[in-house]
Copies of this chain bind each other. A is one copy, B any other.
Amino acid sequence: MTSVHSFRRTLSSDLAQAVVALVESEGLRTGDPLESVKALAARFDVAVPTMREALRRLEGLGMVDFRHGSGIYVGPNAGRRVLANPLQSRPDADQLVELLEARRQIEPSLAMLAAEVRDPAGIALMDETLAQAQAQIASGDDRLWLTNLDFHRAVAAAGGNSVLVEVLDSIVLIHAEDQREILRLHGDADDDHAEHAHLAGCVRRGEPEAARDAAYSHLDHVVEVIRARRR
């Protein structure tokens, strides 16, 4: 196992950390522009190549975005504590089963928490993604799989614990690409949607045990589909 100590020390770069502190202190959010590399170098009193190197380090983490010809922006992972590794190969069938089993260990607890806490923003997001999925099923929109992923993240959000939202996000992002195929194999978008709607109802009505069981049986269903594919 990695020593906690060496991990922290090896990765910490004072300059990159200073940019993170700047983003925080100015209250910048994902998509907000940052100063130019040159202006940042002047601000922190370092050479431009040194500044650029620190920014590339941040880019690797998804903390900043370089947009060609446009400048530097706050990236999607700013403020996050748990991340999906953006540089990993796509999971093979065995790894996919492991990922889904990880979700099966975590999501029922999250569904239970969601039904206990019922965070209003999370509930609103949950209802919004359900409505969007319904419309996409009706119109045959092929982005339904993305909406379905957002539904699972919305349930986590209803639990009100942002660390758990990040954990679920990370796991879901790892196999996002496969979700499209799962939906294709699963074959019945209506069934899938009905399971989501049932889970959402349990959360909305504040029924923790029912929400937990709904999450279990939904994920069992998905694991079944993937197991069948391997055979």
Give the interface of A toward B (CB within 8 A).
1-8, 10-13, 16-17, 20-21, 24, 30, 53, 56-63, 65, 75-77, 80-89, 91, 98-99, 101-102, 105-106, 108-110, 113, 125, 146, 149-150, 153, 159, 161-164, 167, 169-174, 176-177
With beta carbons under 8 angstroms apart, the residue of B10, B24, B65 that contacts A76 is: B10
With beta carbons under 8 angstroms apart, the residue of B12, B161, B173 that contacts A86 is: B12
- Asked, given contacts A2-B76, A163-B99, whether A8 binds B86 with beta carbons under 8 Å apart, the answer is yes
- Asked, given contacts A59-B60, A60-B58, A85-B82, whether A10 binds B99 with beta carbons under 8 Å apart, the answer is no
Which B residue's beta carbon lies closest to that of A24? B89
Q: In the assembled complex, how far is the CB of residue A169 from the closest CB belonging to chain B, in whole angstroms?
A: 8
The reply to whether B76 and A6 form a contact with Cβ atoms under 8 Å apart is yes
The reply to whether A62 and B171 form a contact with Cβ atoms under 8 Å apart is no
Q: In the assembled complex, how far is the CB of residue A138 from the closest CB belonging to chain B, in whole angstroms?
A: 22
Q: In the assembled complex, how far is the CB of residue A37 from the closest CB belonging to chain B, in whole angstroms?
A: 13
With beta carbons under 8 angstroms apart, the residue of B10, B62, B80 that contacts A11 is: B62
With beta carbons under 8 angstroms apart, the residue of B53, B58, B171 that contacts A163 is: B171
- CB-CB under 8 A from A87, the residues of chain B are 11-13, 16-17, 20, 58, 61, 63
The reply to whether A146 and B5 form a contact with Cβ atoms under 8 Å apart is yes
- CB-CB under 8 A from A110, the residues of chain B are 105
Which B residue's beta carbon lies closest to that of A150? B1
- Asked, given contacts A6-B76, A82-B170, whether A105 binds B109 with beta carbons under 8 Å apart, the answer is yes
A220 to B65, CA, bound (A): 40
